Structure 1
Amino acid sequence: MSATLPVNDAGAATPARRSPARRLLMAAGVIALVAAAAYGVRWWTVGRFIQGTDDAYLQADSMTVAPKVSGYVAEVLVGDNQTVAVGQPLVRLDSRQYTAALEQSNATVAARRADILRGEAELAQQQASIGQARAQLDGAVSNEAHALAQVKRYEPLAVTGAETDERVADLRNTARQASATRAADAAALQVAERQVANLQAQIQQAHAQLDASLAAADQSKLDTDDTLVRSTIAGRVGDRTVRVGQYVQPGTRLMTIVPVQDVYLTANFKETQIGLMRVGQPATIRIDALPGADLHGTVDSFSPGTGSQFALLPAQNATGNFTKIVQRVPVKIRIAAGPETRKVLLPGLSVNVDVDTRSARDTAQRIERENGRG
């Protein structure tokens, strides 16, 4: 029995109505086409300029706490994971030996200052002695002149017989004694004057010894102060290994201060991704410890070399078994986050980061034009 087509009032056959499922499929196709077109437009204008990586971790410029002097730990002043401020005491070493050395240095300084005072007193006394020797020389010169004048006066009288030869001989002897006394006083004056230079040299030496003693005292003071180890940055205590009674030497690691308030991001991008990256470009940051929260940041700087360049054992590529591996470049990114968010940002946390390189589109176009001309 054959099927019959529906007929209209005029008796002519009409096509079957389209089913609802077919209309839904056509609508879905149109929507998919529009969505694909929208996605394509967005990828062309935005998506192709977004460079992302999951090889990224939070970091902080931690400070290793180590003493400058050796000694036994007398007291540990902070606990594990404690927040500390700049200059806060962390560890105190036994300072008795350094205090004794400081007192000895101060005593040496006092002795050197006493040497200077003694030298200055001796110099003043020597100046007085010089004055006395000069006065004695002046008296000896006068006596010598008088004695010589007496000899000249009595020698003619002895020739005429008015004075005896013995008298003239005594006068001559007195004149010779006066000359000898004058020469001795002159020599004594020279010795006294030369002694001044010697005393001045001794005073200068005492000043030099005083400077050396002051330097030693300053060093002793520094050593005494260094027995109290302080924090040079603000942060939180981590990896605390120091214990009371432990003997430590300069450079011994006691603990680490982590500046958690200054955490930043180091993202390792492939070398094929950094062509359009520039300092100042915005970044979207997703931290595993904060699911569903997107943070924002800014590209701060680029490493001067790939990670392999700073490896402990860098690969030697000049060999016959070379295999090309895509290198990664560490990129430092500053994080813009409030104080409450930073409380959960810890160095070592894993991060996914996307960098928007659209600001370098003009640069990319210039590079393409240059390559096209080349």
Structure 2
Amino acid sequence: MSQTARISVLRQGSGGPGMPSASAPIGETFAVARAPNRTTADSRPGEGDHGQPAPGGPLPADEQPEVTVASEHAGGPGGSDTGHRNRRPAVFIIGFIVLAALVLGGSYYWYANLDLVSTDDAYVDGRVVTIAPQISGLVVSLDVTDNQYVHRGDPLIHIDPRSYMSERNRAQGALDSAKAQAAGERLATEISRKNFPALFQQAQAQLLTAQANLTKAQADYDRQSTLPKAATAQQEVDAALAALRQSKAQVMQAEAQVQLSSSVEQHIGESDAQVEQLNGQVEQAQAQLDQAELNLSWTVVTAPQDGWITRRNVEMGNYVTPGQQIFSIVSPDVWITANFKENQLDGLRPGQSVKIDVDAYPRLDLRGHVDSVQMGSGSKFTAFPPENATGNFVKIVQRVPVKIVIDSGLDPKRPLPLGISVVPMVSVR
């Protein structure tokens, strides 16, 4: 019984003598036919005890193996095409599955983003309060440091208060003096309200007295002038005439005094005006005192609201002046300013929900809503807005700022610095 061994031979080029040509396909299988084992006792030299060839011994000529070539691609000239045809259905199925997955994925992405409007031109915005001293002076105490959180009313710096205390004391003295003068004038006015009517009545009484004396003097003179010269002396006549003239003068003086005293209301009004003038001086002195006390209070610069200290520009020992920027306070109240393109505004409405992705904190899930749309594009409020009515015109898509209020998701341990980039996605339906 013959035994056949199959041997695979890998070609690398054209074979040597006795080998099949290089045109044969790689990986051919050779069938080796062995002669039956000889187990008889007439073993030839070189065989083992059981008739097997001795190791390393040559085979006899009549037992040389018959080598035949059997190609794996049997079937004639078309054997290679048959293998390719067997692999084509699998390639088609895999390609169809990949194409279907791409179509389904693209459709889902399109449908999921159909109602979303987004922009990467967005950033965190908020209120920044500039802190500047109201008075000038030397900084004697610095009570805060960079990026410190402060509350409303917390002291920030102290300015040397000694000169302002001196001004306050001087204003206080001027106020006390003005108040004393005003009080004295008010007393004088009360007295004049009684004196001026009494003086008027006194002048009227003196006029009546002068008129009575004039009547008596006139009667004495008439009597003396009508008497015969033998019945009176010239001296008596002259005396009566002098008394008459004196009485007339007294009447004129009394009338003048009555006229002077008759303006009682005017005199009282004058006194009241002086009182008002002194009251004005009191108020002026009070204002100077208030200003001095206000300047003294401004020697302690306090925080106007809660927030973080930023851009500190002062050190202890610096001389500061009014209006000099020494701090900025960033308020905790922040929002998102998103600059949407003008062709994205059609679906935007106040109140629409917004999902906000923060580049700095990828795991932060912020939610908010559209608050308002600015009534003007960003270019309209620049220092030099474009003049489209002059020269050539090139249409540029404008961007309009939209304010988005954050409703939830803020982490107190991760404050949002102003100006960092975010990506809002607005659900327009």
Question: Same-fold call, TM > 0.5?
Answer: yes
Distance 1:342 1:271 in 2: 36
Give the aligned residue type for 1:33: A
Ranked by relative contact order (alpha carbons within 8 Å, sequence separation 6 or more), the top structure is 1
Check conservation: 1:82, 1:236, Cα contact below 8 A: yes
> For the pair shown, which has the larger CA radius of gyration, 1 or 2?
2
Distance 1:155 1:319 in 2: 110
Report deviation, 1:244.
1.5
Structure with more of its chain in helix, by fraction: 1
Q: How many residues align?
A: 342
The reply on whether 1:36 has 2:103 as its aligned counterpart is yes
**TM-score, scaled relative to structure 2:** 0.68
3-state SS of the aligned residue for 2:368? Answer: strand
The reply on whether 1:140 has 2:206 as its aligned counterpart is yes
1:151 paired residue number: 217
1:354 paired residue number: 425
1:94 paired residue number: 160
The Cα offsets for residues 345-370 of structure 1, whole Å up to 9 and x where unpaired, read as 22122222211112xxxxxxxxxxxx
Check conservation: 1:154, 1:163, Cα contact below 8 A: no
3-state SS of the aligned residue for 2:121? Answer: strand
Q: Percent identity?
A: 30
Q: CA RMSD in A?
A: 3.5
The reply on whether 1:236 has 2:308 as its aligned counterpart is yes
3-state SS of the aligned residue for 2:118? Answer: strand
Q: Is 199-208 or 128-137 further displaced after alignment?
A: 128-137
The partner residue of 2:401 within 330, 342, 361 is: 330
Give the aligned residue type for 1:288: D
Aligned pairs for 1:187-336 within 5 A? 187-190=259-262, 195-259=267-331, 261-314=332-385, 324-336=395-407
Give the aligned residue type for 1:356: S
1:123 paired residue number: 189
Q: Is 135-144 or 347-356 further displaced after alignment?
A: 135-144
The reply on whether 1:110 has 2:176 as its aligned counterpart is yes
3-state SS of the aligned residue for 2:411? Answer: helix
Report deviation, 1:129.
3.8
Go from structure 1 to structure 2 and tell me whether the alpha carbon gap of 1:154 and 1:316 turns closer, same or farther (over 3 Å shift).
closer
Unpaired segments ≥5 residues, structure 2: 1-73, 77-84
3-state SS of the aligned residue for 2:422? Answer: strand
Check conservation: 1:98, 1:220, Cα contact below 8 A: yes
Distance 1:39 1:291 in 2: 24
**TM-score, scaled relative to structure 1:** 0.77
Report deviation, 1:156.
5.9
Go from structure 1 to structure 2 and tell me whether the alpha carbon gap of 1:244 and 1:137 turns closer, same or farther (over 3 Å shift).
same
3-state SS of the aligned residue for 2:304? Answer: coil
Give the aligned residue type for 2:180: A
Give the aligned residue type for 2:107: G
Report deviation, 1:238.
1.0
Go from structure 1 to structure 2 and tell me whether the alpha carbon gap of 1:171 and 1:275 turns closer, same or farther (over 3 Å shift).
same
Distance 1:262 1:216 in 2: 39
Distance 2:388 2:212 in 1: 107
Distance 1:225 1:21 in 2: 91
3-state SS of the aligned residue for 1:121? Answer: helix
Distance 2:389 2:211 in 1: 104
Check conservation: 1:150, 1:171, Cα contact below 8 A: no
